[in-house]
A and B are shown apart, each in its own frame.
Chain A
Amino acid sequence: MTATHSLAAEDLTLAYGERTVIEGLDLLVPPGRITAVVGANACGKSTLLRSMSRLLAPRSGRVLLDGKAVHRLPAKELARTLGLLPQSPIAPEGITVADLVGRGRHPHQRVFSRWSKEDDAAVAAALDATETTPLADRAVDELSGGQRQRVWIAMALAQQTDLLLLDEPTTFLDVAHQIEVLDLLTDLNRTRGTTIVMVLHDLNLAARYADHLVALSGGQIHAAGTPEDVLTEECVRAVFGLDSQVIVDPTSGKPLMLPMGRHHTAPRADVLQSTSGS
């Protein structure tokens, strides 16, 4: 299961009715890596993700999967290569974890085909990978937020796609569960080579977990590249209109953004110096 699929946007313009959200955007998703998309509220991050998974047809331009326009591909064929976890999926009342994860097998099944051994194996592996096997018979609405998010990711895993798009997979989770989910996605990327594209709110977590960072602003890509190249004080000012200091994260060696508001921001040069030097 090596991820050699290429995903790219070409001169992409996206709009809801009259309102243009993304204009003339070019993007290349590095295969087999983790890409994080960041940007201010309503800058078009989710819209871009929706379009890359063919939920939204482009006004102009194309989204290309292996050189073919995704909006022309048969729906199920696309769904066997590219999976999407939207921000707020709906769990039917009373559905069990195993049943929900099993629904990830939809693109692999035909109208008359029966549940197969492969389906069983895929579901079992997905539950195992997300450590939700003990929850298999529980109802999804009884679970905690962190458990539920792991179950949704298990469903996406059962779909067995080489590309996985996630829209804010850490929303509504406390910090420990955010790390748990991002670690899980990293495992997935390293062991299966799954290409991951995710929209993240938290710049610092994005910088820590992504190989490739994309900063959106005003419907365009403001900067794209390694976290070190993208997460700079200038970039944060341009994209978010926020003053900040960017230092080296002593835990990961990646850039760490410290926001500066109007209060509580008297800089202590000596502390910052010693931290960034370590």
Chain B
Amino acid sequence: MTSVLATPAPDAAVVRRPGPVRFLWLLVVVGLLVALMALSVAVGSRGVGWSDILAALGGSTDNIGQAAVTKRIPRTVLAVVVGAALGLSGAVMQGVTRNPLADPGVLGINMGASLAVVAGIAWFGLFSATSIVWTAIVGAGVAAVFVYAVGSLGRGGATPLKLALAGAATSAALTSFITAVALPRGDIVENVVSWEIGGVGGATFDGIGTVAPFLLLGLVVSLLSARSLNSLALGDELAAGLGERVALARGVAALGSVLLCGAATAVAGPIGFVGLVVPHLCRLLVGVDHRWLLPFSAIAGACLLTGADVLGRIVARPTELDVGILTAIIGAPFFIAIVRRQKVREL
């Protein structure tokens, strides 16, 4: 250990990050997303020929095939947008809580949004799309604060398993509340049930337009938190030592995450596990730097939800399987695998 301190930067190139590899993966996931979007427009419970698909993309609705394709376009956009929101929201949530099990579904935040919306419809006659989005976001925020507070009780603070347990318990309770609110109301119960499972089937550009500003705000806030999340990942003390205002940074990032999953839930119902699975896969591809991880999680989340939606249309022909059911089928074993791993520790 000699006094080499005086000679700076001998080999700057040595410490360069493996940018090309990440860039390659970026091309791969973007390519995958484009392919899945194309599939999502082309494939459905009704088979439509290529000429009709192209005609429909051009705005024509002359026959029933073209009309079906026209309906698939907003549906595809919604799957992409909601998937991206959930993937990104999960990645931010895992960063904020340093918890590998964090996910809007696992932590019960989607259910908080759902209960708020259902109660709003049943009791206060919520009608306008915008008011539903607001209600969902407030519900998501309240649930997030509640679950985090319960998970932090006792020794050791908010450990991964305690937080997941608090989320699961809260989720179960909220689901019962939703049933209790909706059941006596024969007029809304059917809507509530189908919305609760989660789906993108009923997508319209109007609906997407209503949540778009919220999602956009959530996206910007989340992406700007990337560097703070990198510091928080080193522990609160070191993050503070690096000049991070820990509580503020955590609050801002959590706000971005809640905006995303609240708005996504408002428009597509509580879709679980996307936010859990996607960030873990992305970490394998691009590592733990949130400046890469967050945008990747958004793109990969869009891929997963679009893919799940296409799959749901194929496997249950001539009907469809809701996308929320498929993500649960994919996500549940994944969740168990993460829990069973030796190192269930803070991220």
Contacts and interface: CB of A to CB of B under 8 A. Distances in A.
B288 to A, nearest CB: 4
A129 B242 CA distance: 20
B27 interface: no
B238 A86 contact: yes
Interface string B219-251: 000001001001101110110111111000000
A191 B6 contact: yes
A102 B238 CA distance: 14
A114 to B, nearest CB: 10
B11 interface: yes
Nearest to A80: B243
Given A54-B240, A83-B241, A124 B1 contact: no
A58 to B, nearest CB: 15
A121 B10 CA distance: 8
Nearest to B239: A106
Given A94-B283, A124-B15, A187 B3 contact: yes
Contacts of B287: 94-96, 99
B337 interface: no
B8 interface: yes
B346 interface: yes
B242 A104 contact: yes
B3 A136 contact: no
B241 A128 contact: no
A133 B235 contact: no
A77 B17 CA distance: 27
B234 A89 contact: yes
A79 interface: yes
Interface in A66-99: 75-80, 83-86, 88-96, 98-99
Contacts of B15: 98, 101-102, 120, 123-124, 127, 133, 136
Contacts of A137: 18
B24 interface: no
Contacts of B336: none
A99 B5 contact: no
A249 B1 CA distance: 23
Given A98-B17, A99-B288, A107-B243, A50 B1 contact: no
A60 interface: no
A117 B12 CA distance: 9
A15 interface: no
B174 to A, nearest CB: 31
A103 interface: yes
Contact of B1 (A93, A121, A125, A184): A184
B5 A55 contact: no
A75 B6 contact: no
A53 B10 contact: no
Interface string B1-31: 1111111111110111110000000000000
Nearest to A192: B5
Contacts of B8: 121-122, 124-125
Interface residues of A, number: 57
B347 interface: yes
A14 B2 CA distance: 39
Contacts of A85: 238, 241
A142 interface: no
A54 B236 CA distance: 12
B187 to A, nearest CB: 49
Contacts of A92: 233-234, 288, 347
B227 A109 contact: yes
Given A86-B235, A99-B17, A136-B15, A159 B4 contact: no
A86 B288 CA distance: 21
Q: Which of A120, A128, A190 has the most CB of B within 10 A?
A: A128
Nearest to A86: B237
A95 B235 contact: no
B224 A111 contact: yes
A118 B192 CA distance: 56
A150 to B, nearest CB: 9
Given A98-B17, A124-B9, A187 B242 contact: no
B288 A95 contact: yes
B346 to A, nearest CB: 7
A131 interface: yes
Given A92-B347, A123-B15, A192-B5, A106 B240 contact: no
A183 interface: yes
A191 B6 CA distance: 7
A3 interface: no
Nearest to B8: A125
A188 interface: yes
28 contacts: A53-B240, A55-B237, A75-B243, A79-B241, A84-B238, A86-B235, A86-B237, A89-B234, A89-B237, A92-B233, A92-B347, A94-B283, A94-B287, A95-B288, A98-B16, A98-B17, A99-B287, A104-B242, A106-B243, A107-B242, A120-B16, A125-B5, A125-B8, A129-B4, A136-B15, A137-B18, A187-B5, A191-B6
Interface of B: 1-12, 14-18, 98, 224, 227, 230-231, 233-235, 237-238, 240-245, 283, 287-289, 343, 346-347
The 4 closest A-B pairs by CB, nearest first: A79-B243, A84-B241, A76-B243, A121-B9
Interface of A: 50, 53-55, 75-80, 83-86, 88-96, 98-104, 106-107, 109, 111, 117, 120-125, 127-129, 131, 133, 136-137, 159, 180, 183-184, 187-188, 190-192
Given A120-B16, A137-B18, 6 more contacts: A54-B240, A86-B238, A93-B347, A102-B15, A128-B10, A129-B4
